[in-house]
Structure 1
Amino acid sequence: MKGWPRYMIERRLASGEIAYYWRPRRRDIRAGFNLQAEPLGSDIGSAIARANELNRHLDSWRSSIGGVRSLDLQRGFGTLEWLFERYRRPDSLAWQKVSERSRPDYIRAFKLICALPRKSGGDVGTAPVKAIDARAADKIYQRLKEGPRGPRLRQAALCIALAARAWDVVARLYPKDVPALNPFRGVELTHGRGKRPAATREDAYALHNALIAAGEPHLAVAPLVCFEWLQRPENVIAGHLTWLDYKPASKPNSVRIEHHKTGALVWMPLSDSDGPFFPELSEHLDRLQRLGTPIVLMAPARKRKGRVLDPRPFLMREARKRVRQAADVAGLPPWLTLDACRHGGMTELADSDLTEEQEMSLSGHSTPDAKRRYVKRTDAQRLTAARKRRAWVQEQKTHESSNDGSSKSRNGTSVPD
């Protein structure tokens, strides 16, 4: 039709609705152009805008034949799926800052969003980013909240937060292709009331003993290190805690704890004149066989070509699997994980009535807000708060009584001139 973008066509569907498509010339495809026919949906405005984008890239490709092809000259350029892929590129500085432990959560969130079906056909991942506004983001969130097994408020909120982060990063790199106004910012989120339990000291040591009983003495180090020394589970499992960190010659009364997520380095004291601070953990480490430089290593149970394989660090999924199996055999609750142990250690700091500065000096957090996310509210904290409040009330009453007595004395005859 006159005035339409090149290669844009319309088709009437069986339902009677008009749908639009973009279809480049066959000779361009035979010559190696990767942007092939693409559905544009049923909204003519969005279809025209998308067809113009595709034509620009077709022209760019034609002008660069024989040169180095851009990674962006591929099917789906400018879609939401493309935006997430750009964010996750290996050379993306933003993606490099995402920890290895967190990356699967990002990938899962992006897949959940992209897999949502669209009324016009296809899925949300194929929608042009310029067609996604605030209303569309709200609709995406509402659909994410209902999972196949019921409400999933936490997962839906995470999806929106990560989508917003990816949008900001890619919009800065592709200002002509991604709108600066982020539709995922400002979505009204519904937060559930449920919270993940934090392990008590008894829970952490029960998981430690369960792993020993399961024949995993090295993996049994992890629950106690997470609880007592507050190191993140992924750092312990990956082998970042080494024998060189434990009682080194330069500091024989300390252990070096490095938090790779924040870069913080904490020298945790092990004892003072009154005795050890972590007697059970120190005793376990002192008698533990040293399989290699990392403290937590997996001893292979099989042989290859007649020789036993060397011990190696656990994969996180393998470590979690073995922790879960040991916990199940011991009859421990399903929520008791290595993360729960670390959260429990953080909560015990708060129960101990330490100042925030003291807590952060042990946990390695750089800000109070980051530290507070891991602390659970407990009866011990409420009891300490109630005692302090009552002591303050008594102090005020004593002070008021003293002032009243002084005033009466000054108004009576017993006060000399």
Structure 2
Amino acid sequence: MAKTIVKLPSYTRRVAVKGGHAYYWELPAWARPTKDPRTGRSVPAVRHEKPCPVVSTALGTDHNLAVEKAEALNEALAQWRKGAVGKELKPGTIAWLFQWYRGQERYTRNKPKTQKDYRRLMDMLCEFPSKFGPLGGRLAAAMDGESADALYKKLRETKGEREASYAMQVSRLVWRWAARHKRTTGVKDNPFAGMGIKSIAAGETRETTRAEYDLYRQTAREMGWQSMATAAAICFEGCQRVSQVFGFWGEDEKDQKGKVKPAGLQWSIYKPAVAIALTQRKTGNPVWLELTDDIDGETVQLYPELERELQLSMKVAERDRFGRPVGQIILMETTGQPYEPGWMAKVHRKICDKAGLPREMTFTGFRHGGITEIGDSGEADVRPISGHKTLAQTRTYNKATAEKGRRIALKRREHIDQLGEREGGKASRPGSRDKEDDR
């Protein structure tokens, strides 16, 4: 009797088990994760600046269901390989629903920034990995309350409370509008309604203390994430926004001269032991950070922690033919590419968990902590450092100058000295060095 040949989808294998067969889908060699020789961590394969959205998966024992799942995985893998995710959308899927919503007046009437924020969250949800490929490939009408709750839980674990909350709010808007047009969308119910999620106001961000900031940087270095330690220093010491430091904005964003803005902070803004020149992307205000000052003939370092982290990152920076560091300051050690918001949040959470830091400690909290520290030192006007346009504390509009910026830095260093004993040791004097950094 001739042996029956069962044709299976690519990368799928069948294994004989008691009572029948089990099916498995395995990533091809070119798409499998690799091991970072320095940290020992598993690093996903990257194509078109996006990590592989699927993993090797057990498909069960039902032949027809296994074939269906394997074909979906192969389609997701092919789309990722070609960089064509979202270009050819199957009607009724979540990705298709988001695209449909973007064409509605309900969406287009929003301000450009709001539209951009919605698009970012929709894209994040479409690419979010589920058991059988990216979430965008699932049928929108198949989402129910339990699925929405499970998605929210996973988002909180991987991307943080704020990102998860905003993603659910946007989904609630989309599904509510889709249910009103059920003959077009096929969506009859809104699974994201009634979840009891409260909006998170920007003012509720928990500020990070200096002791937590110090422990975070030390842990990040020990884990091989020097870039995250440097980013935290820029946010805390320079009171910079997270999007400014990491470059979390669209590739098509342009400056006043019509030129496309480079992603993130570039090495060209930094002159060691002299100054850092910044421009607040949100307000357009310039920020000039003097790094040293002469006091009674002695040179005093105003931001020794910040310079220390920048110097460590500079050691691995790309150089031009004159030996000067070039390109973006904050790049992932594993890929040499800029961080994606979701991946940054995931690395941040790993560092916090390793250090035993609070779960509610967000990266935005570094900026808030730095501004709070300036206020605690006795300075009410933080604009020379933070780049704000107006004062929240007073109605007086004082001109922000470089001289005032130096005064703030000196007063801040005096405040740090007066803190006395901190976790891990005494507060550092201006220009002093932490022992764990002398390596």
TM-score range, shorter chain: 0.3 to 0.5
Q: TM-score scaled to structure 1, two decimals? A: 0.46
Is the radius of gyration larger for structure 1 or structure 2?
1
> More relative contact order in 1 or in 2 (CA 8 Å, sep 6+)?
2
